Amino acid sequence: MKLPYNIFAAYYDTITRSAQDDRNKVILSIAKNEGFKSICDFACGTGLLIKLFQGNNLNVCGCDLSDKMIEVARQNTLIQDGLKTFIFCNG
């Protein structure tokens, strides 16, 4: 069975980006205010929230049921110097 998100994973960011950006800024603000050092993003989708957390020096774990969303998330969050480690899983 194909998961619905596997079908449109490549277009997901284009469709939902503006709503995600606003939501992600709020989530990051809460994480910083609470002093979080590590975050697990369940249903991480294409990894936009993970990328934001990485850029703010937080350890991040991303999980999603969709193999295609995980694939896009890995592309969106390539490890760069100084960013914390992240792990993607599915299922």
50: domain CATH number is: 3.40.50.150
Count: domains in the chain: 1
The whole-model pTM stands at 0.73
Residues 6+ apart with CB under 8 A from 21: 48
The mean pLDDT value of the chain amounts to 80
What is the tens place of the pLDDT at every residue in 68-86?
888 888 888 766 555 555 6
What CA–CA distances, in Å, run from 72 to 14, 33, 34, 49?
13, 29, 29, 13
Region 33-48 average pLDDT? 89
Residue 59 near residue 39, CB atoms below 8 Å: yes
Domain that holds residue 37: 4-89
Quote the pLDDT of residue 34. Answer: 95
Structure-token pair, residue 28: 């990051």
